[in-house]
Amino acid sequence: MEDGKAGAAVAGAAHGADESQRAIGIDIGGTGVKGGVVDLELGEMVSPRIRKPTPQPSTPDAVMAIVEAVVRELIDGGWATHGMPAGCGLPGVVKHGQLKTAANIDQGWVNAPVQQMLADRLGRPVAIGNDADVAGMAELLFGAARGQSGTVLMLTLGTGIGSALFVDGRLVPNTEFGHLQFHGKDAEKLLSATARERRGLSWKRWAKDFNQFLAQVELYFGPDLIILGGGGSKVYAKYMGYLTTRAPIVTARLLNSAGIVGAALLGHAEAQEGTASLPALESVAPAVS
Ligand code: BGC
């Protein structure tokens, strides 16, 4: 466990927090499975943040056993209840309750009935969405892009590069800009936080490449605001001075918990609306003009 906000959560319980406004958020990544209980009115995690390494090979069964362990820890700690809905962010294109691509996770995920498998494992309703899409939604509702109209682009820098594109508060799901071609390769293979380390690049040298990538994305979509999230945004101070975009850049305000908060939002929205897809969140998105 890490990043505990135990004090806040205990206070919430003591004051009889509204359980119906809470959901479990799980963020499955190439290197870690992270989870917590989120209060959707506050837009923040009210339990400790639990993180366990993603097992290798990262098959659905192996990863789901870890997800189950994370949720069990949240239940045992008194944070999650048995009926609490859950949402899960996954590192690939998500459609119809399935993962359609898997760049940083075992290929066994592709076309498996992931949503159903997770619901069976966890014994509760589960909604799934792309990890960057849900993180972006959390930033739009509670963080750096709150109430922001126009075109907002969130990029997550981690094992891969995730993207979430919003137009006047509406998500264009599954954009996958991390797989744009860059110098003849998959962009994230050269530019993700993991790739920078693997290539042994200085921040300045990495930023030179990243600027070219950003220029390409700006040419295509003309964002009014760019949000950087994921592990790479925690060290923004090391490279912010080198970035040369037209649009302003900010870092994710929810930092590494955006994926958990967004996943919980999705789980909660589905449980309420009875719909399984990320655009269901439009119903809870802030009105922007
Ligand atoms: C996947 C995206 C994901 C990103 C960050 C990429 O490799 O294709 O779907 O959002 O990694 O996890």
pLDDT digits (tens, 9 = 90+) for 128-172: 999 999 999 999 999 999 989 999 999 999 999 999 999 999 999
Kindly tell me the burial class for residue 157, based on how many C-beta atoms sit within 10 Å of its own C-beta (0-12, 13-18, 19 or more).
buried
Give the pLDDT confidence score for residue 18 in this predicted structure: 80
Answer whether 156 contacts ligand 1 (Cβ < 6 A): yes
Q: Give me ligand 1 centre to Cα 161, in Å.
A: 6
Average pLDDT of span 31-59: 96
pLDDT band at 16 (very low <50, low <70, confident <90, very high): low
pLDDT above 80 for 215: yes
Question: What integer pLDDT is reported at residue 11 of this predicted model?
Answer: 37
**pLDDT higher than 50, residue 127:** yes
Mean pLDDT of all residues in the chain?
90
* Residue 160 Cβ contacting ligand 1 at under 6 Å: yes
Q: Are 50 and 260 in contact (CB under 8 A)?
A: no
Task: Identify which of 171, 30, 28 has the alpha carbon closest to the alpha carbon of residue 89.
Answer: 28
From its phi and psi, is residue 163 left (phi > 0), alpha (psi between -120 and 50) or beta?
Answer: beta
Confidence (pTM): 0.90
* Contact criterion met (CB below 8 Å) for 230 and 193: yes
Per the CB < 8 A criterion, the answer to whether 40 and 46 are in contact is no
- The predicted structure's pLDDT at residue 274: 64
pLDDT at 7: 37
Which pLDDT score is estimated for 256? 79
Q: What atom in ligand 1 is closest to the CA of residue 178?
A: 6
The answer to whether the CB of 47 is under 6 A from ligand 1 is: no
pLDDT band at 275 (very low <50, low <70, confident <90, very high): low
User: b vs e for 76-111, b when ≥16 Cβ sit within 10 Å of the residue's Cβ?
Assistant: ebebbeeebbbbbbbbbbbeebbbebbbbbbebbbe
Determine the pLDDT at residue 120.
97
